[in-house]
Amino acid sequence: MSLITNVFEPKLENPFWDFSIDAYRQAGVESICLQLQDLHSLNVNFVLYCCWLGKQSMQVSSAEMSLLVKELRLWDSDVVAPLREVRRSLDTIKEEAASLLRTEVLNCEVQAEKLFQGQIYRFAQVMIEKKIQGELDTVVEDKPLTLENIHNKRDLSGVRPMEHRDVEFRRFTEYASYNLGQYCDAIGRTKTVGLKKTVTTLVGLLDD
């Protein structure tokens, strides 16, 4: 039985989607994400998910990423990717009708991405709940998703403002980089020098 629930639920609150929108508004992020997508065959939604978890000081295992990718493979390959290809094809047609159609397709693509991220977010919530209940032992590795660190974050109350930010930055870069590495492992992607450099650039851009 799929861990994914019905995404067509009204008024879905999704902090992951909110994070992604804010991230894309930051200078350079969209370009780097497209490099990861087009040059390294990474899924931008999963990339941003890894970074969003990093913002929450959470880690994910390659086993859990494998399960997530498996659950959503058809939504990605049969819905999101085809819309992207149609939209890019329309980019090459210099006619007003094509431009109008492109806008419509783009709107559909954005909605598909939003629904995709809604499924990712629900998956994360289910994984957290099952982790708490101890029901994932037969599904994933030992100590797979270290979401328990939500409850044991370091107390930074005595750290001065700049030091506080430095510690938060190190925490984010460490978690996000780790999660992205687990995602690459999950899909069998070789961590080339170019890929590592691009990932490092993205993580740096998302430091705020």
More confident residue, 157 or 194: 194
Query: Is residue 3 a part of any domain in this protein?
Result: no
Per-residue pLDDT of 37-69, as tens digits, reads 999 999 999 999 999 999 988 888 889 999 999
Q: At what angle do helices 193-205 and 161-186 cross, to 10 degrees?
A: 140
The confidence band for 164, taking pLDDT boundaries of 50, 70 and 90, is: very low
pLDDT in the model for residue 124: 85
Into how many domains does the chain fold? 1
Query: Is residue 5 a part of any domain in this protein?
Result: no
Domain range for 64 is 27-205
Average pLDDT over every residue of 93-104: 85
Q: Two tokens at 20?
A: 């992604």
pLDDT in the model for residue 137: 53
Please return the burial class of 71, using the count of CB atoms within 10 Å of its CB with bins 0-12, 13-18 and 19+.
Answer: middle
Q: Kindly report the pTM of this predicted structure.
A: 0.75
Query: Is residue 50 a part of any domain in this protein?
Result: yes
- For the chain, the residue count is 208
More confident residue, 113 or 4: 113
Q: Two tokens at 186?
A: 């999950």
The pair phi, psi for residue 78, each rounded to 5°, is -100, -10
pLDDT in the model for residue 131: 66
More confident residue, 144 or 206: 206
Query: Is residue 195 a part of any domain in this protein?
Result: yes
Query: Is residue 12 a part of any domain in this protein?
Result: no
Residue 78 has pLDDT above 50, yes or no: yes
Query: Is residue 19 a part of any domain in this protein?
Result: no
- Least Cα distance to 69 among 95, 94, 85, 45 occurs for 45
Query: Is residue 4 a part of any domain in this protein?
Result: no
pLDDT in the model for residue 31: 95
